[in-house]
Structure 1
Amino acid sequence: MNNKKYIVVIVMWTILLQLSGCGNSENNMEERTKTDSAENILTLNEEQLRMLEPSYTSATYRDMPKTMRFNGKVDILPEYITSVSHPLGGHITAIRVVPGQVFRKGEVLAVLEDYKYVQLQEDFLMAKAQLKTAERNYRRQQELNVNRASSDRVFENAEEEYNKLRIAIRSLEQKLILADLDPTSIAENNISRSTTITAPFNGMVSHISVQKGQYVNPSDILFELVNAQGLIIHIKVFEKDLPSIQNGQELTVYTNSHPDQPLKANIMTINHYIQEDGSADVYAKFQDSPYRLALGMYLNAVVTTYKHKTIVIPETSVVSYEDKSYVFERLRQNVFRLVPLEVVSTYEGYVEPGKSELLADMDIVDRGSYDLLMAMKNKGDTE
């Protein structure tokens, strides 16, 4: 009989402890509910819960990449900066570009005018006319010399004159090309007193040194052009982070104007000289030509170094509202709490949260979190 009493007592204590545990759990839920403002708590009725059908998840451990963030700006390789002058000079009659303008190869930058262009075309046409006469004389003297009807000296003089004119024409052709005049289009009824300066590549005008009406000499710089293919990233890396940086490493680059359009680059060189501020210069080359960037523009660069195991949650469970991130915690079957979330990093569909230990025991809404957010905001609008 005594044994039966002991068994009954033990069973009763077990039940009481379980009820106490449930009570503590309920109390914890109540405490969480009380500590949050009413606007962060959402209670659904049975019909709403059935319509939304949220699914649930919990925080898990996963390998996430370790990232480092750096500030930098757009720089350029020296060989991709071109100073433009004109080999003959002249008066500038038109300037077709402005500083900062993007241009395509062959586009007209400026128009120059000078009598030298007329003289050059005249010399070219005169030499071509003389060449025809010299060629006929050379052929005739060659035939006569074969038949011994003329002396070798006469034939040699004709040959020399013919070759001199051929050389002169080749030289004049190159001068015309340098002056941006097409030798094949020059004729006696098509002599121009002006020429153009055209873009030698696709790029951008960084500086204009002249103005309309100005006379320029062959040594004067008219434009400074930048080839976008030579744009690079110049970032400052502090000494403590330098061991994690290596050549060929990929960067993800963001601009302040287009943070939603990341660019890819690879580290091309590391200057291991540590400057007075404790940083070293690191340069990276863009994978594609970044035509929307400008020289000197400030950038943010993210480098992925290695992976570490940490607490993560599915990216689908995170909602954004007014530039802040949140998750929904299920407190009870139909009661949900909106919890602020700091996003440390995102990788392959998972989010690494800040203060991840706070999420360890949460029952987190996965699918349907945005529906809950809309329901919560609609509730606030109707109250």
Structure 2
Amino acid sequence: MKRNYLSYISILMLTAFLLSCGSKADNQETKEGAVPEEKAEDDHGHENEVELSSIQYKAAEIQLGKIEERELGQTIKANGVLDVPPQNLVSISVPFGGFLRSTDLLQGSRVKKGQLIATIQNPEYIQFQQDYLESKSQLEFLEAEYKRQEELASANINSKKTLQKAKAEYLSMQARVQGLKAKLQLININTASVENGNFKSTVSVHSPINGYVTAVNVNIGSFINPTDVLFRIVDTEHLHAELTIYERDMPKLKIGQRVRVYLSNDKKERLAKVHLIGREVSNERTITVHCHLDDEDISLIPGTFLTGIVETGATKVTALPDEAIVQNGTAKVIFIANGSRKEGNETVQLFKAVEVTTGVAEGGFTEVILPSEIDKTTTIVTKGAYDLLAKMNSGEEEGHGH
């Protein structure tokens, strides 16, 4: 029994020894077949690099250049509208009510200063003329009476009270006549014609300015109250841009600064100058800036929305063409030439994406704040950056697929 027990123990020890050797061999094979960590890390190091064959390089029309120093303007971008001065926007009404007898105006009609634009009819106009004539006749009588009383007073024939009464009646009637005359003038009735017995039941309405009709609020036969607006006429020869600027940008504003104006319905660039700067901050923490257009254009329409770019100054900065900077996710990158290598008879061009920070932009160039690895001698891709970005991102997707 003892001998059998020793034999059993020996067999178990031999089995354990053999199993241990097999495990070490497996581990050694695993280590030899594994991809080294340095290699994996090295693969990730090429994520921002792009390789182009000579055919691809030509197809992408790659152009190379250097960092430039340019004077780019500091700007303020703001929204606004086209507006007109108060004296160039007129609301037409009549001081005394009446019925609209005739008008030819439509929205968009061009009118000239002094042009007949409507006629208004009201029997009360006849009453005004009648009252004027009657009062004028009484004025002549009272004037004569006052002069007679003055002569009597100088001879101490009448009392002072009688003279004062005659004078008061004369001055009161004189004021009434002048008031009625002013009323008739308001409705464009010639008092000289009335004095000759020519009464009118209609009055003419004339345009006070040159311009275009922007609103027609009446129709033939409608009754017009003194508070009603018949028409609105705007003179578009002196349109200006009203910009809304945030309070934080106020210190940068100065009279005379150049402004580039872009209408919402037109891509044409128009130039203007800052003419007035508002002195009151609104509840939205903004001010109004009044800008005069360099070139007047009567075809423009007041109220049109616009964008204005106010040039507040120019500084010398490092800059690249806009085409050289591309958006990669949330980052802005440029591509630098990173040498080349030979693959048989083929030359492969190498490029590397570098993240940059951008600043002001003007005239097709954008300010770039460069990392320390790039200086003015570095060769930059100035055209074809979008193609390089597309190839780089497609390469990353393929890599993830594996």
Residue 169, structure 1, aligned to residue 177, structure 2 = yes
- State how far apart, in whole Å, the 1-side matches of 2:150 and 2:281 are: 69
SS at match of 1:98: coil
Per the alignment, residue 211 of structure 1 pairs with 219
Give yes or no for contact 1:75–1:234 (8 Å, CA) kept in 2. Answer: no
Change (3 A) 1:104 1:281: farther
Change (3 A) 1:252 1:180: farther
Residue type of the alignment partner of 2:288? Y
Residue type of the alignment partner of 1:345? E
Choose which of 295, 301, 310 in structure 1 pairs with 2:302. 295
Change (3 A) 1:273 1:148: closer
Per the alignment, residue 58 of structure 2 pairs with 35
Give yes or no for contact 2:79–2:306 (8 Å, CA) kept in 1. Answer: yes
Give per-residue Cα distances to partners, 1:318-341, cap 9 Å, x unaligned: xxxxxxxxxxxxxxxxxxxxxxxx
Give per-residue Cα distances to partners, 1:167-212, cap 9 Å, x unaligned: 1111112222332334455432433222133445566544322111
5 Å-filtered alignment, 1:14-33, equals none
5 Å-filtered alignment, 1:128-167, equals 128-167=136-175
SS at match of 2:106: coil
Q: How many Å apart are 1:88 and its aligned residue?
A: 1.5
SS at match of 1:287: strand
Which deviates further from its counterpart, 165-174 or 199-208? 199-208
Give per-residue Cα distances to partners, 1:293-331, cap 9 Å, x unaligned: 323312121122342323679xxxxxxxxxxxxxxxxxx
Residue 283, structure 1, aligned to residue 283, structure 2 = no
Residue type of the alignment partner of 1:118? I
- State how far apart, in whole Å, the 2-side matches of 1:67 and 1:359 are: 29
Change (3 A) 1:187 1:177: same
Which deviates further from its counterpart, 109-118 or 183-192? 183-192
Give yes or no for contact 1:75–1:295 (8 Å, CA) kept in 2. Answer: yes
Cα-Cα RMSD:
4.6
Residue 304, structure 1, aligned to residue 307, structure 2 = no
> Normalising by structure 2, what TM-score?
0.53
> Normalising by structure 1, what TM-score?
0.56
Give per-residue Cα distances to partners, 1:39-96, cap 9 Å, x unaligned: x99xxxxxxxxxxxxxxxx985232213344443335789987654322201111224
Residue type of the alignment partner of 1:294? I
- State how far apart, in whole Å, the 2-side matches of 1:359 and 1:293 are: 49
Give per-residue Cα distances to partners, 1:20-54, cap 9 Å, x unaligned: xxxxxxxxxxx69971599x99xxxxxxxxxxxxx
Unaligned 5+ segments in structure 2 are 1-53, 321-360, 381-402
Give yes or no for contact 2:126–2:199 (8 Å, CA) kept in 1. Answer: yes
Which deviates further from its counterpart, 258-267 or 353-362? 353-362
Per the alignment, residue 325 of structure 1 pairs with none
Per the alignment, residue 268 of structure 1 pairs with 278
Give yes or no for contact 1:128–1:169 (8 Å, CA) kept in 2. Answer: yes
SS at match of 2:196: coil
Per the alignment, residue 242 of structure 2 pairs with 233
- State how far apart, in whole Å, the 2-side matches of 1:68 and 1:81 are: 29
- State how far apart, in whole Å, the 1-side matches of 2:219 and 2:79 are: 37
- State how far apart, in whole Å, the 2-side matches of 1:198 and 1:101 are: 14
5 Å-filtered alignment, 1:83-232, equals 83-101=91-109, 103=111, 105-183=113-191, 186-200=194-208, 204-224=212-232, 232=241
Q: How many Å apart are 1:166 and its aligned residue?
A: 0.5
Q: How many Å apart are 1:126 and its aligned residue?
A: 2.4
Q: How many Å apart are 1:124 and its aligned residue?
A: 1.4
- State how far apart, in whole Å, the 1-side matches of 2:139 and 2:161 are: 20
Give yes or no for contact 2:239–2:302 (8 Å, CA) kept in 1. Answer: no
Unaligned 5+ segments in structure 1 are 1-30, 42-57, 275-279, 314-343, 363-383
- State how far apart, in whole Å, the 1-side matches of 2:298 and 2:133 are: 43
Q: How many Å apart are 1:129 and its aligned residue?
A: 2.5
Per the alignment, residue 362 of structure 2 pairs with 345
Change (3 A) 1:124 1:97: same
- State how far apart, in whole Å, the 2-side matches of 1:245 and 1:192 are: 58
Residue type of the alignment partner of 1:268? G
Change (3 A) 1:193 1:168: same
Choose which of 238, 245, 254 in structure 1 pairs with 2:262. 254
Residue type of the alignment partner of 1:35? K
- Calculate percent identity across the aligned residue pairs: 23
